[in-house]
Amino acid sequence: MNSRKSKGSANVAQEPSWKPRSDEAIDREIDLAGDAQTHIVCWEDPNYPAQLRYCDDPPVCLYVRGDLQPTDAVSIAIVGSRKSSRYGYDQARRFATLLAGAGFTVVSGMARGVDGYAHDGALCGNGRTVAVLGSGVDVIYPPEHGELAKRIIGAGAIISELPMRTQPAGGSFPRRNRIIAGMTLGTLVVEASSRSGALITARLASEYNREVFAVPGQVNTPTAIGTNRLIQKGEAKLVAGLEDILDELGDVGKKMGSTKARSGDTPDSPDATRKAIRASLDANERALVDLLGDEELTIDDLIAQSGLQAAAVTASLTTLQIKGAIVIMPGNRIARRRSS
């Protein structure tokens, strides 16, 4: 779409910076997390978001309420104004529903306005959604999103790098935004004023070599000034529908656009025969299946051994699972189905 360098994660993960805690503080934090039905996912853990691991400054650990899945690597962020217009409301829900229906996980910050509409749209589309908080995961903010938070936990996860009981503060949100940008393939901005935090997320997404999309706003709406400026400066691709996003994602978009997960079409379907599965695989998918052989490997193993970019591997694994060529084992280790 423009002269930015080609998309994709770096080949070497950057270890996160962190500050040591005392053993007593760690034990206390673990107890608090357990009381709130929260698990802690560290940088080395296979459940840690694959895309985020390859950013320059990943969190050393994430607090998770709900569950993270390998398929969440194929995700799109939707961000925007907290004071959105009815148009912004409609577009946030519309795109979230469409993306969820295509198999993407929708990521946002569970703030008022566009964020909340995006999560709701994904849930209405029977999809997965992840909320990244600027507070501890046991501090739901804004408080009126309590019921929304429960729905998100049931169909995805609420995550934060901040310790339990941490209250929201202005300085936490820009760092929260880097997680939103870093764990996704691209960021879609729906209504943003000239000083909106959504523009920070868009800038970070560009710095992380991710795609940036924007829904054009009404020219007489203050909350559309930042969004339209992104498009005007060539810093975001103008999108009017799902196909615009899929086209910009290249091979990943083609996979997600052409593969429809239908009810009853599970990897264990008795109709899936070895020849049918093999014939449906493209070159990348076939290479990953062949690498697996009789072994169980992690996503990082497959990235290292295949030479493919992280985004290509995670997208291929999603379609391989849908096609019934692989299964996800305990500990998020990946195995080839014997019939494949």
pLDDT one-digit tens code per residue, 88-97:
888 999 999 9
pLDDT greater than 50 at residue 267: no
Residues 99-138 have pLDDT tens digits of 999 999 999 999 999 999 999 999 988 999 999 999 999 9
Residue 331: its pLDDT value, please? 65
**What is the average pLDDT across 12-27?**
64
pLDDT band with cut points at 50, 70 and 90 for residue 248: very high
The stretch 203-217 carries a mean pLDDT of 95
Q: How confident is the model at residue 282 (pLDDT cuts 50, 70, 90)?
A: confident
Neighbour-count burial of 238, counting CB atoms closer than 10 A to its CB (0-12 exposed, 13-18 middle, 19+ buried): middle
Q: Which residue has the higher pLDDT, 81 or 260?
A: 81
Please state the rounded mean pLDDT for residues 233-237: 96
Per-residue model confidence (pLDDT) at position 170:
83
105 C-beta neighbours (distance < 10 Å), count: 28
In this prediction, residue 330 carries a pLDDT of 57
Q: Look at 150-164, 297-311, 326-340 and tell me which has the smallest mean pLDDT.
A: 326-340
pLDDT(56) > 90: no
Average pLDDT of 50-70? 92
DSSP state, residue 12: S
Tell me the pairing of strands 211-215 and 186-190: parallel
Domains of the chain, with CATH numbers?
A: 31-248 (3.40.50.450), 261-336 (1.10.10.10)
- Distance, CA of 150 to CA of 34 (rounded, Å): 17
Go through 111-134 and write b for each residue having 16 or more CB atoms within 10 A of its CB, e for each that does not.
bbbbbbbbbbbbbebebbbbbbbb
CA distance 79 to 10: 24
Q: What is the pTM of this model?
A: 0.74
Mean pLDDT of 246-272: 61
pLDDT at 16: 57
Q: How many CB atoms lie within 10 A of CB 86?
A: 7
- Confidence category of residue 15, pLDDT binned at 50, 70, 90: low
Q: Which single residue is written with the structure tokens 């991710």?
A: 210
Residue pointed to by tokens 């908080």: 133
| Averaged pLDDT for residues 242-260 | 85
pLDDT at 230: 96
Q: Is the pLDDT of residue 12 over 70?
A: no
